[in-house]
Structures are given as C-alpha cells and as structure tokens.
Amino acid sequence: MEDARGLLKQYFGFDDFREGQKPLIDAVLDGRDVLGIMPTGAGKSLCFQIPALMMPGITLVVSPLISLMKDQVGALNQAGIHAAFLNSSLSMGQYRKALDLAREGRYKIIYVAPERLETEGFLRFALSPGVDISFLAVDEAHCVSQWGQDFRPSYLKILSFLEKLPRRPVLGAYTATATVEVKEDVLDILNLRDPLVVTTGFDRANLFFGVKKPRDKYRELESYLREKEEKMPGSSGIVYCLSRKSVEEVCYQLREAGFSVTRYHAGLSDTERRENQDDFIYDRRQIMVATNAFGMGIDKPDVRFVIHYNMPKNMESYYQEAGRAGRDGEPAECILYFGAADQRTNRFLIEHGEDNQELDEETRRIVMEKDLGRLKQMTFYCATSGCLRHYILDYFGEESSAECRNCSNCLEEFDLLDVTEQAEAVVRCIEGCQRSFGVNLIVDVLRGADNQKIRQRGLEENPEYKALPDMTVPRLKQLINEMMMQGFLNLSNDDYPVIELTDRSEELLSGEKLVIKVPKREEKQAPKARKKKAGAASALEEKDMGLFEELRKLRMEIAKEEKIPPYMVFSDKTLAGMSEVRPQTLDEMLNISGVGQFKLEKYGEKFLESIKKYEE
C-alpha cells in the first residue's frame, strides 16, 4: 500500500504534511476515531481525504453546504481522485446515476448532505451488499452542537444513520472553530470512541487583524480599496455586510466608483448567486460584497483581504469569515469596521431570527442567552485596546504571548491613563439610580445632560449628576466597556440591556486601581514593511514578476477552457515557485510545491513551454 506522504505528493503536490495532519491520518488508518480542530486554511480536508485513498471501501464525508461539496469534489477530480457529491442540486436522474457508479466502486470519496443520510434511496445504497463504508468524516463538526454558532439539527441524523449500518465505520470529526464547550459537546454527541484529539492552535500568523471605528464606513472602504488597487493590482477580497440592503448599497457604490465587484446574499435567485460566486472564484470579479451566506467551503487560496463592514454576532463567525483570507499562507489582512449600531442590529437578529425554530421553547431561550453572551464577547473584541490576536486565541482557550506586533492595536501607540476616579463615579452613579438604565442614559447623567429623559426620571438628583462633564461620550463609553471587560460592570441580556453592578464593583470603591490604554493619536498606518505587495508575488524579485504574470495568463486560458477556477490549475504560490526556479524539465517541475504527478502530466509541458518562451 502506498504511504500517505507519497499520496500527498502524487495528488496534491506537497512534499510534507503540516502540523497535526499526520497524527490524525495515522490514527484513522489504525481504526481509531479522531477529532481534529484546525484553523481555516490549515489543511483539515487532507486529514480525511488521504486516509480515504488508503482505506478499503468508501469514505462518506458529511458536509453542510452545497457550495462546499461542489468546491471540494471539483478540486479532488482536478487532482485525479474520483469523488462525487449527493445533495439537492442534483436531478433525480443524476442522483441515481451517482449512486449506481458508487455501487460499482467508482468513487473513493462521496460527499453527502446530512439530510440525505436518512432518505430511503441513500439508505438502500448504504446497506447494499458489496458497499463497504469504512470511514465517515464529519466536516464542520461544530454544527452538531446546540452551543455552537452554527447548530444544524440535521447533523443529529448522523447518529441514527450509524446505528443502521451493519458495521460501524471509523468516525472522524473536523472543525475550524470550537470553544472548549463545543469541543466537549462534539465528542459527547457523536459518541467518538477513544478518539485522538488534535488541536493545532488557532493562530494564523500570516493574517493581520485590525479594528477601525470610522465615521464614514463607505469612504474608509473606498480609500482602502484604492490603496490596495495601487499596491496589489488584481488582488481578490471579500467585504462582509450584516444585511442584504447593505450588500446592495455597498456593491452599487463600489461599482459606480469603477471597482470590479459582484454581490451575494440569500435574496438573489439561485442562478444569480451561482453566477456571481463563479465570477469571484474564476477571477472575473475581484471583490465580493456579501452577507455571511457566502463563503463556507470557498477554497479560493489567494484572497488578500477580508473586510467586515459591520461587526458579526460572534467571534466564531468572525474568525471563520476572516479566515478566508490568506489560505495560501501568504500575508493577508482582516479588518473590521465597528459602529455603535452594529451591536443593536445583531441583538435584533438574535432575538427575532428564524434560526432554531425546531427547538422547544426552553432550549431556544438557553441558546438565545448563549448567543447574546457571544455577542458581548464580540463587542469586547472591538473595544479592547489589547492585542487582537491575543484576544482571539484567548477566546478559543489557547495560551499566547501578550503582543503579536501584527494587529492594529499592537502597532498603535497608547498612553496609560489612570481612570480610577472616573470609574468610581460610574459605580456611584449606578448605585444612586432607583432602577437600572442603559449605557447612554448613564453617560448622559455623568456628563450632566439636560434632556427630557433625565428630567422625567429625576436623574438630575443623582449624586453623580454632572460628575464627568469634560469626558467625551466616546471616551466615557470606552471606560464603561473596559469596566465590563474587567468584570467591574455587567450588561444584562434583557430586551433593553441595562448596566448592572457586579461582585467586583465594590473593589473600585475600596482602593482597586483601573488603568486603561488610550491612543496617542489617530490610528497609525501599518509599518512600511507592510506596504510591499502581499501574497505569493511579494517574495518575488522584480526580474521574476514578468514571468509570474505570463504564467497567470496561461493559467487563466486553461481555466476558461476547462471551466474550472484558476486556482484549481495551480495556486499563485506554485506559479511564484515556477517563476523563481524556472524549471527546464518535468522532473525539475515536480520538485515545486503544489505540483503533483497528475497535474504534471496534464499541464507540465504547457507551463515548461511558457517558461522557455519567456526566457527566449
């Protein structure tokens, strides 16, 4: 039997495994269940695709989205591996044909939607004589947990499906985003037996994280994109918006401003969504403006930036969406534009959303409370003056050094400000109120506002009325946020959230100090080293750039001819390797990362010819 490393090179063109991949593969081959928690772009799909090629029988991959299945099956077929998917996008004729070919042993890997597992036709296939399901891989395994950010009740069908099989296959679960609680839930619900659990760490060192609070988000976005266009012409990026309306507005404005842009949200027809997604993946459009309906399973490796035009509702979603940048391991940027309205909008979506309708009342209430707690943590991310990477890693339960020097807060210069006196005033103000109030009203009291709300409630009688008249509203809100982050205050989960004192509030009145960091001046630009071109081309010398562009043109021609995304031919990183090494023979080309045997036979001569032509 071929070894795993040989298959990795033959089909995927890589010489060695990344961290965590080999132990997970070896465990599955030894017949042991596994749970792999690896960040987006760390290569978790190889952890079930390689064992699938080495094990007897069929591997089923349970996957939640049609686009995800289509993308991964396309990439496998492109690499010379027979794979298929079974979901609602197939006609009945196509579905039957796929099952017939699977019965004949044509496919080693079959991607299936969880809803399909319980259907009569699929069960008949799975229980057919001669069909041996040796491995079942659960992709996006966090969907099985009610406490996860993407709970899908259909994932619970996996358990009853396994019970119907004559022999239980090896079970593997894989996810990019799982807190400690969700991890325990996945292990428990899927009933993994003596599993090997591998967490490779959530850090993506190539990603720059930034939070901005612009007065005019659109102007900030356009300015950012103009700068990108100047320094990195043709680079791909995603702009995430909270609502369909925002997507339409931002896309329209960018198109009017002359950018190569398209859009994606649930309000478009299936045909238009598919066309727009293809335009982005096939490099016909550089920028995708979308709601969070876009992206899961989009394996485009050369996305150089992900902008969140609005704050998402939890850290898991943010990290997953931001993680679509820089999957090729090259530098990329993840910037979040925060505005006060974002929190209110997200809260409304959580409280009035249509998710989890199939749950009973009590469970739905608990899930909503969890969602509101996650929203609070997301808001703290936008408010913190500490290292953003450290905040993310800490959220997912991972130790990290205090500063990364690759996020907007680490590059900012701060002054330390002792705000103990002001914090004491906040605590006394809340104590002096007859009932609880929201952030804005407390700020008004402290600043001495004279308005109807204050007078109606008699708040001008509060002992701390006008205690902080010179503190600006943003600075006072920053102080209150900092007090919440450090546990001195709490924001309730009521319909109208109010500020509450905590067990720690009294500490501030008993001598506890509170020091916060405030920016010395407006946000600095990232250091000059970041002004270079990012992406695979960044490492190339000027003399190699011409060849790199020629190879990209050839790749685009092949992609158009074969109707596949350009990155499925070769990635930018692989083209950069060819431009630098300039191989003269097929053997030399095989040494370049990303060139496997199948693709070498298919495309090698064309690329060698292009290199020779360029050198002449």
Domain ranges of the chain: 4-199, 207-411, 414-519, 536-615
CB atoms within 10 A of CB 50: 24
pLDDT value for 134: 94
> Do strands 287-290 and 414-418 pair parallel, antiparallel, or not at all (unpaired)?
unpaired
Residue spans of alpha helices (H) in 327-438? 340-352, 361-383, 388-395, 408-411, 420-431
pLDDT value for 529: 35
Residue 434 and residue 163: Cα distance in Å, rounded?
59
Lookup: tokens for 223: 């300015």
Enclosing H/E stretch for 62: strand 58-62
Determine contact, residues 215/337, Cβ cutoff 8 Å: no
pTM: 0.78
CB atoms within 10 A of CB 524: 12
pLDDT at 493 over 80: no
pLDDT value for 152: 83
Render pLDDT for 518-571 as a digit per residue (tens, 0 to 9): 777 544 443 433 444 445 666 677 778 889 989 999 999 999 999 888 988 998
Given pLDDT bands bounded at 50, 70 and 90, which one contains residue 600? very high
- Between 223 and 153, the higher pLDDT residue: 223
pLDDT value for 33: 96
Mean pLDDT on 198-219:
91
Mean pLDDT on 395-408:
84
Determine contact, residues 382/311, Cβ cutoff 8 Å: yes
> Cβ contacts of residue 310 below 8 Å, gap of 6+?
240, 241, 242, 243, 246, 337, 339, 342, 345
Distances in Å between the Cα of 486 and the Cα atoms of 369, 372, 481, 489 are 20, 18, 9, 8
- Between 123 and 358, the higher pLDDT residue: 123
Does 4-199 match 414-519 in CATH topology? no
Render pLDDT for 215-226 as a digit per residue (tens, 0 to 9): 899 999 999 999
Task: Transcribe 274-334 into DSSP letters.
Answer: HHHHHHHHTTS-SEEEE-TTS-TT---TTEEEEEESS--SSHHHHHHHHTTS-TTSS-EEE
Beta strands in 102-240 (DSSP E): 109-112, 133-139, 170-175, 196-199, 207-212, 236-240
Given pLDDT bands bounded at 50, 70 and 90, which one contains residue 149? low
Residue 432 and residue 426: Cα distance in Å, rounded?
10
Lookup: tokens for 473: 């509203």
Q: Which residues pair with 490 in a beta bridge?
A: 500
Residue showing tokens 């209430």 = 365
Structurally, at CATH architecture level, domain 414-519 sits in Orthogonal Bundle (1.10)
In CATH, 207-411 is 3.30.930.10: no
Q: Is residue 514 classed exposed, middle or buried when 0-12, 13-18 and 19+ CB atoms within 10 A define those classes?
A: buried
Given pLDDT bands bounded at 50, 70 and 90, which one contains residue 517? confident
Mean pLDDT of the chain: 87
Task: Transcribe 447-510 into DSSP letters.
Answer: HT--SHHHHHTTGGGSTTTTSSTTS-HHHHHHHHHHHHHTTSEEE--SSS--EEE-TTHHHHHT
pLDDT value for 264: 95
Residue 72 and residue 59: Cα distance in Å, rounded?
14
User: Which stretch of 92-101, 160-169, 357-366 has the lowest confidence by average pLDDT?
Assistant: 357-366
pLDDT value for 536: 61
CATH no., domain 536-615: 1.10.150.80
> Cβ contacts of residue 43 below 8 Å, gap of 6+?
18, 21
Farthest-apart Cα atoms in the chain, separation: 86
> Do strands 236-240 and 287-290 pair parallel, antiparallel, or not at all (unpaired)?
parallel
Render pLDDT for 99-117 as a digit per residue (tens, 0 to 9): 888 888 889 999 999 988 9
Render pLDDT for 288-331 as a digit per residue (tens, 0 to 9): 999 988 876 677 888 999 999 999 999 988 998 999 999 888 89
Distances in Å between the Cα of 122 and the Cα atoms of 97, 161, 408 are 12, 10, 50
pLDDT value for 290: 95
Residue 232 and residue 325: Cα distance in Å, rounded?
15
Backbone angles phi, psi at 272, to 5 degrees: -65, -40
pLDDT value for 293: 83
Mean pLDDT on 217-238:
91
Residue showing tokens 């600075």 = 475
Render pLDDT for 69-102 as a digit per residue (tens, 0 to 9): 888 888 898 888 989 998 888 888 888 888 888 8
Residue showing tokens 């450290």 = 390
N residues, the chain: 616
Superfamily of domain 4-199: P-loop containing nucleotide triphosphate hydrolases (3.40.50.300)
CB atoms within 10 A of CB 57: 16
* DSSP tag of 536: G
